[in-house]
Amino acid sequence: MKICSTVSEIRGACDIACADNARADNALANHRRLGLVPTMGALHEGHLSLVRAARSQCDAVAVSIFVNPTQFGPTEDLSKYPRQFERDCALLEKENVDILFAPPVEEIYPNPNDSTTWVTVEALSEKLDGRSRPGHFRGVTTIVAKLFNIMQPQAAFFGQKDAAQLAIIRRMVRDLNFPVEIVACPIVREPDGLAMSSRNAYLNQQDRIRALVLHRSLQHVQQQFQAGEFSAAKLIDAATEVFAGEPQVALDYFEIVDPDTLDPVVRISQATLVAVAARVGSTRLIDNLLLQP
């Protein structure tokens, strides 16, 4: 695995990886495919499932590790976000990743005191997590656009757990004509149902148990839906009752929305996203599921 820390290094490495694959098999010459898995490190099985999906669909796989400061608010956990670089490298080596891009902040944002050029997906960026975390998605789309421009992958792999992020990146790619296929991969869960997240490391033993209310609320909504309830308002009420049983978990939002526009739906008649965010102790967690009529 080649580790790159500068823009010039990673551009050269991506070019070589695709060229090497093309030389290895002439049939690939017109179909060279670089898959990118963008991460902030502290890798877990969810990240590794994206790497495996990229490996199965692409000729070369690149992973980025960059704790992006522009997607954290002033009161959020940038300074304590888990950083486990050596462990992450070992995990990626085992998955046969070709290239790792791990730049310092100054390589990505060389003039932090100057005005930054932002990439913003209007309207969508103020919904769900964007409403609770102003500026968050502007930071996400800016760094993802930078990575796409720097590394020029043919495909990029994202987890369904960050459903709003997924919708926003898809819209950015469409509107800005990025030649990148966005591949969504299923949520990976712990045996008890908790969605895997790097932030789960913040949870103490009691909060870890309380955090299961997110998954329980989604399961309850799914059961009600499968029993014939299609009213979004009634399903949200049912989920709220589940949260009432965990008074020490602060519900941020529970919404039922169109998975592409993130607009609320009144009655479920097509594929619909059920999304939840809550604060468990000092840790903010998200989860979701897709309902398919």
Q: Which residues are catalytic?
A: 47
Residue 116 · residue 31 · CB < 8 Å: no
Task: Identify the three-state secondary structure at position 155.
Answer: strand
Residue 51 · residue 97 · CB < 8 Å: yes
Give the list of residues 6+ apart from residue 26 with CB closer than 8 angstroms, or none. Answer: none
Q: How far is CA 153 from the centre of its chain?
A: 17
Give the list of residues 6+ apart from residue 225 with CB closer than 8 angstroms, or none. Answer: 235, 268, 291
Give the list of residues 6+ apart from residue 118 with CB closer than 8 angstroms, or none. Answer: 138, 142
Q: Using CA atoms, how far apart are residues 206 and 181, in angstroms rounded to an integer?
A: 41
Length of the chain: 293
